[in-house]
Structure 1
Amino acid sequence: MSSAPSDRSTVYPNRKTAVAATALWAVAVGLLAGCESGPAEPNATASGRAKATASSGGCLDALRKAKAAVQAAESTDTTWKGPRSGPGAVPGKTLVYVAQTMTNPGVAGVAKGVEEAAEAIGWNVRVIDGEGTPAGIQAAFSQAVTLKPSGIVIGGFDPRLTSQQAARAEAAGIPLIGWHAVSSPGPSTSPRLFTNVTTKVEDVARISADWVIARSGGDAGVVVFTDDSIPFARNKAELIKRQLAGCPGVKLLAYENIPIPDASQRTPQEISSLLSRFGKKWTHSVAINDLYFADAAPAFRAAGRPGAGPPSNIGAGDGDPSAFQRINSGQYQAATVPEPLTQQGWQIVDEFNRAFAGSPPSGYVAPVHVVTADNSGGGTSWDPEGYREAYEQIWRG
């Protein structure tokens, strides 16, 4: 938007025209102000925000929708909206949790929830670490089947990696429940899962991108970090890219494919390279898992970047304690879209109980939530209230 001339009387020779022009100017300024409401980026300039607002393709509409969605997702209402009825506890069961890698905080957090819930219902649990490699995961799953448990949890990996082991489990009548095993929550026929516990990847991807759009005022240079070896993660990253593209003022600078097991080694090197390539153009980041920012922090610090950004970083899962600590202290992460990891562990145990009792899955899917320093309450996890009591009451029968 061009600046106003210093002598309006030479442009608007009569009062009526001048008043009309002033009114039009006020409307334009009002529209711009409406697009800029909300948190301001420390590196954003007025001219940059105005340029983004005026861009073609409906960024004003995308910005309005993004702000509304983020505001709703930042609500801290923790009223339990999950199941309150189901079969009573089936006694004497044993579960094996096969973990993609226990260095993945999300996988480890859910394992902790499964162990906690199993103790509450009176079952035994064993965790076997696949250590993040196909061979390790296959070996862990083979060991799980050999143990002949009542049920097996697929913790954060693609069951297609273990099709032979899954077939052996099915032949032995051992039900399988996944956590982030396939792209959608609920039952799966290929691979055969009694249910898959996860938030909706579409919702997580959308709100992560919306946070960037809303926080930047529609003017951002973004890097996306993902692990394309995991179909769930690859799908999430593609959905993030698609949502970001809905605002023309938001530019995707780079798409970084870093396998999670390699993140601690590769991420610092990639951060240094990205800072060299993009400099101040890099204003925001979205990662499919918070752990990328744990590994990125030393590189940002070494480069002299402030903890509060730029870039401003959001994790599109899983909301582990270290992510909350970075957010609360303003150190190289501004937000996360956390999974309620402990609650999902309890849900997995309840879903197994339904399977053992011959009942259908509960169908519950946790809603998305955005955590920032403003609404975290100083906590280190997203742990909604009420689910423990609700599940224990169900199991008591």
Structure 2
Amino acid sequence: MYPNRKTALRAAALLAAAVAVIGGCQRGVTTGERSPSTGPSSPGCPTTLARAKAAVQQAENTNARWNGPTSGPTAVSGKTVVYVAQTMTNPGVAGVTNGVAEATKVIGWNTRVIDGQGTPAGLQAALSEAVALRPSGIVIGGFDPDLTSRQVAQADAAHIPLIGWHAVEAPGPSRRPKLFSNITSKVQDVAKASADWIIARSDGDAGVVVFTDASIPFARSKSELITRELTTCSGVQLLAYENIPIPDAGSRTPQEVSSLLSRFSNTWTYSVAINDLYFADAAPALRAAGKQGDAAPFNIGAGDGDPSAFQRINSGQFQAATVPEPLTEQGWQIIDEFNRAFSAKPATGYTAPVHIATAANSHGTTTWDPAGYREAYRRIWGR
């Protein structure tokens, strides 16, 4: 537990506490009572607030041009790719499969999806099955390859290239674990954008709850970076850090939200989660407590921007924003990276620029699908 404070927490102290929480807490951690608000006309972090507002304005732009690869090897033929999913209940993991399926159809390959069911045993069995199929390539879809180290070694011994999606923190090739490439937005950019949105929208005065799944290194790192960025504004207070594994989110999130409401009431004004699905599960508890869908706590997902998240945002139902991954685009990139692997060419290491979606800029759409990539990859592949 954080000790109770009656004055505003200094950024350094909050950072130290946040890092300690991330290292060991398995439930929620409170920072105690919030300090008196400085008010929107007198924010406690004017320099940080100005920077955050400028960054958010740029990230909300929807007219950015394609800045990804425009050259590479033409399509090889006769390939099969197996996508091993962490769990198909994770909307981001499931969303990428749509892009993979779409791209493999264009390039002329076959694809298959195996659901790991969100457990170490399930993932090991799924990856074992994938290796036994002897496909041309395997996707590590949203889980830590260290959980399946034996199967990863088997794939390597069989000369089956592995490409990750959110498998490790950094984009691009990985030596340990051995991945031809890892497809993801830069976690630092996503974390910063979500935290900056809270700072900017609250005018530097917020009580925040963070939801994460600490069993996934990528997610754990993201939530740590979010808390660090929040501490750059002295008017923002971390109320609780909720570690809820994604496979358990449906059952645990409503209970945790009810507990948070009883502990913090109106002091809880903002939430950020490493995945949008937490807010789908939080909605019934918030609604039962008499909360309005378009009122506090204002919720932002730091990934992945699945259709249900956009629906909640567009209808003002317990989610105000998301930092979406371009899921379909990333599915196409996975296939392009495999084509480079099969052609003995290096990975691109491309990462999509960060974007923030709200009701104001989504224009009723249910996905972040930037323009230009389909045409670019078709030209590269000769399709």
The TM-score normalised by the length of structure 1 is 0.86
Tell me the residue number matched to 2:111.
125
Match for residue 131 of structure 2 among 145, 149, 157: 145
Match for residue 109 of structure 1 among 79, 95, 99: 95
1:52 and 1:248 in contact (8 A); partners too:
no
Q: Distance in 2 between matches of 1:112 and 1:104?
A: 13
Q: Which amino acid aligns with 2:89?
A: T
Question: What secondary structure sits across from 1:53 in the alignment?
Answer: coil
- Deviation of 1:81 (Å): 1.1
2:72 matches 1:81: no
Map 1:72-221 to 2 at 5 A.
72-221=58-207
1:52 and 1:219 in contact (8 A); partners too:
no
Question: What secondary structure sits across from 1:191 in the alignment?
Answer: coil
- Deviation of 1:49 (Å): 4.3
- Give the number of the structure whose alpha-carbon radius of gyration is greater: 1
2:246 matches 1:255: no
Tell me the residue number matched to 1:50.
39
* CA distances 1:308-335 after superposition (whole Å, capped 9, x unpaired): 1200000000000000000000000000
Q: Distance in 2 between matches of 1:52 and 1:108?
A: 43
2:345 matches 1:356: no
1:52 and 1:249 in contact (8 A); partners too:
no
Q: Distance in 2 between matches of 1:49 and 1:114?
A: 49
Question: What secondary structure sits across from 2:143 in the alignment?
Answer: coil
Percent sequence identity over aligned pairs: 72
* CA distances 1:154-206 after superposition (whole Å, capped 9, x unpaired): 00000000000000000000000000000010000000000000000000000
Q: Distance in 2 between matches of 1:365 and 1:266?
A: 33
- Deviation of 1:54 (Å): 5.7
2:362 matches 1:386: no
Count of matched residue positions in the alignment of Structure 1 and Structure 2? 348
Which blocks of at least 5 consecutive residues in structure 1 are unaligned?
A: 1-46
Is the alpha carbon distance of 1:171 and 1:52 closer, same or farther for their aligned partners in structure 2, counting shifts above 3 Å? Answer: farther
2:328 matches 1:342: yes
Map 1:236-315 to 2 at 5 A.
236-315=222-301
Q: Distance in 1 between matches of 2:263 and 2:85?
A: 36
Q: Distance in 1 between matches of 2:295 and 2:178?
A: 44
1:110 and 1:345 in contact (8 A); partners too:
yes
Q: Which amino acid aligns with 2:91?
A: P
Which blocks of at least 5 consecutive residues in structure 2 are unaligned?
A: 1-35
More moved, 78-87 vs 285-294: 78-87
- Deviation of 1:52 (Å): 8.5
1:49 and 1:217 in contact (8 A); partners too:
no
2:326 and 2:368 in contact (8 A); partners too:
yes
Q: Distance in 1 between matches of 2:372 and 2:352?
A: 13
- Deviation of 1:343 (Å): 0.2
1:223 and 1:252 in contact (8 A); partners too:
yes
Q: Distance in 1 between matches of 2:217 and 2:43?
A: 37
- Deviation of 1:101 (Å): 0.2
2:188 matches 1:228: no
Q: Which amino acid aligns with 2:254?
A: P
Question: What secondary structure sits across from 2:275 in the alignment?
Answer: coil
